Structure 1
């Protein structure tokens, strides 16, 4: 199918969006592929929005099943460089696409790390950190930072109840959880 391309006319000035700190102002500038509540099969979408003042905004959308943040910014950097240096293509990043060969798609996807370990009812206290771990540098040999794909995973840290108020112990457990995401872990996941 290719890339979905949309154009929109915005009945305001671009500075209205730039100066506003409400995220709701930006949402209409990004292609919406969740019309019926389910993500469509597009691999990439672009929306060019034209403002009354003559300014334009380019909004893009890539589903997580295709790419993570590192991939997205690598792609956008390459696209901007190609647009800017159309005559001089020497220094343009050349992304690679190793993800599907490293982690083939799997219909059965169980993300619960405790699914078989715990059979009893537990009372938990949950602290949520957005610390997704980039697998590119943790592989042997390491992948290029410009490798395209969703190559991040969440790190899990478990701290027993008696240590729940001990920040030093919690910090240690978080570091251990991140440290476990090494090449051996990646090879096990690839085997699944």
Structure 2
């Protein structure tokens, strides 16, 4: 069995684009590679697992979310192996999002773990990485620096909290979310609609609101792209709620279902694929975000069914997967859904403004879904 550091180097030979540095519109693949750090933690892992806290978890990260280094000096992958006094190990990663989405991250992590325990062989699909999306489907263009305006600095403090929705609670939510338009809501649809509703209530949202949910485009294309295709091959399914709909769970779930169904083969070919189409669609999307205003805008991404709980470096499956970071470096109104521990339910990590999080945590209708 290879060490995590050695297996990381081997994995980067297959994900060679992730080992380079992004300079302008090009990736310079030199010998820089990734950054690997080992750290000793003077406590036992059980102390952290008993009551997970973002302020503690962020100390296990190898770097800050905001990097002051020039882009050409910034690695795309920074890893820290945290070794606890009990012998437990927590692997933390900071990844540059310019070239990686959730599917790329999962492929990379799975390949790295398989290499570490010596189970990646020449017949594995995990060595067949597909880079054609860069040159053919999404060619280069002269992008404007629109991204600099998305998360404007604010004096309002942010708060990140973890909420665990057990299987029984999810079944109850799905039952409440059913309607003629959506007779079979998924767990993600029901839970996203539920959190969206109560986040709007906490923010005292009087008018309309917008929620964008990340959609993996690979399987929606015709022909479908392999899941191991590297890149940010994703889009946002956008749902707008009016003042009348914002407190009705069935209506919100209906809006979410409609937004998901709109991201189909025809939409992708008509709107996204091609040098001019994709560029124009991104600019339009960002322009609409600025028009709607970030105060009533929510962003959701689901990491469910990515099999992160099955990633095994040779020490057995992880007991827990989590996110962490400096909350004031993050955009507010973010929802991240992960598979619960041992496959029981869903963990929702919610980032709101501090005052709105206090209101959410005191809402009895929200708390009813926790055992």
Q: Is the contact made by 2:62 and 2:93 (CA closer than 8 Å) also made in structure 1?
A: yes
Aligned to 2:238, the other structure's residue is in SS state coil
Gaps of 5+ in 1: 112-122
Distance 1:56 1:140, change over 3 A: same
RMSD: 3.1
Does structure 1 residue 171 correspond to structure 2 residue 253?
yes
Shift of 1:47: 0.8
Partner of 1:82 in structure 2?
115
Q: Counterparts of 1:137-176 in structure 2 under 5 Å?
A: 137-160=219-242, 168-176=250-258
Aligned to 2:80, the other structure's residue is in SS state strand
1:125 equivalent among 196, 200, 208:
208
Q: Is the contact made by 1:68 and 1:150 (CA closer than 8 Å) also made in structure 2?
A: yes
Q: If the length of structure 2 is used for normalisation, what is the TM-score?
A: 0.42
Shift of 1:170: 4.2
Partner of 1:18 in structure 2?
49
Q: Deviations over 1:30-85 (max 9, x none)?
A: 22143556895321111112222333222112122221122212211111111112
For 1:86 and 1:171, the matched residues in 2 are separated by: 42
Gaps of 5+ in 2: 1-31, 148-205, 280-371
Does structure 1 residue 183 correspond to structure 2 residue 265?
yes
1:91 equivalent among 102, 124, 144:
124
For 2:36 and 2:111, the matched residues in 1 are separated by: 19
For 1:168 and 1:87, the matched residues in 2 are separated by: 45
Aligned to 1:2, the other structure's residue is in SS state coil
1:108 equivalent among 132, 135, 144:
144
1:67 equivalent among 100, 114, 117:
100
Q: Which structure shows the bigger proportion of residues in strand conformation?
A: 2
For 1:148 and 1:79, the matched residues in 2 are separated by: 15
Does structure 1 residue 48 correspond to structure 2 residue 66?
no
Q: If the length of structure 1 is used for normalisation, what is the TM-score?
A: 0.75
For 1:163 and 1:50, the matched residues in 2 are separated by: 49
Q: Is the contact made by 1:33 and 1:39 (CA closer than 8 Å) also made in structure 2?
A: no
For 1:87 and 1:160, the matched residues in 2 are separated by: 50
Aligned to 1:61, the other structure's residue is in SS state strand
Shift of 1:138: 0.7
Aligned residues: 181
Q: Which structure shows the bigger proportion of residues in helix conformation?
A: 2
